[in-house]
Amino acid sequence: MEKAHAQQNELRIGYVDPQHIMRSMPEMAAIERRLQNFVERKRQEFAEKEATFRQEVEEYQQKMAVISDEAKRQEEERLAELNLELQEFQQNFQQEVQERQFELLEPLLDKIQDAIESVADERGFTFVLNTMTNNGDFIILYASDEAQRDYDITDEVMQRLDLM
């Protein structure tokens, strides 16, 4: 009786490489193109804003000798505001790229997660670990050939997603 109870509470831990799975998905090429197009549009938008700002600064420098102190003050405030907007645009750029990337990848991540859960349930795993962090650092530093065969479910997940 104790042995049966111990087996019921036994932890079974598998692992998977979702980055490898994602790279193997045919949808990734289109997602990468869409993301690259988004980045290029944003870079172009920034370049246009920056060019406009530089032109306005140049125009101000050319006329500052002939305009009143009040006009200078107003123009400098306006240019400072434009500069601040430019800086904010640049700061928001990375956040917008990350949001767009998540938006594009979310359906794939959901498909991968569903396949992982399905395989894990079939195999009786209590936990499934990711082989790497998002930064590319390994979590699983070593797995024997036997452990890879018994606990790495990457290939099974890929089969479930018709990638193999």
Digit-coded pLDDT (tens) for 9-63: 789 999 999 999 999 999 999 999 999 999 999 999 999 999 999 999 999 999 9
Confidence of residue 92 (pLDDT cuts 50, 70, 90): very high
Q: Are 164 and 158 in contact (CB under 8 A)?
A: yes
Please give the pLDDT value at position 147.
Answer: 87
Taking the C-alpha atoms of residue 22 and residue 158, their distance in angstroms, rounded to an integer, is: 9
Q: Which two tokens stand for residue 62?
A: 């050319």
Decide the pairing of beta strands 13-16 and 127-130.
Answer: parallel
Does 155 have pLDDT greater than 50? yes
Q: Which two tokens stand for residue 164?
A: 């193999």
CA atoms within 13 A on the CB side of 66: 4
Q: Are 12 and 148 in contact (CB under 8 A)?
A: no
Provide the residue range defining the domain that includes 7: 2-160
Taking the C-alpha atoms of residue 146 and residue 138, their distance in angstroms, rounded to an integer, is: 19
CATH number where 27 lies: 3.30.910.20
* pTM of the entire predicted model: 0.71
Does 145 have pLDDT greater than 80? yes
- Determine phi and psi for 134, rounding to 5 degrees: -65, -20
Number of domains into which the chain is organized: 1
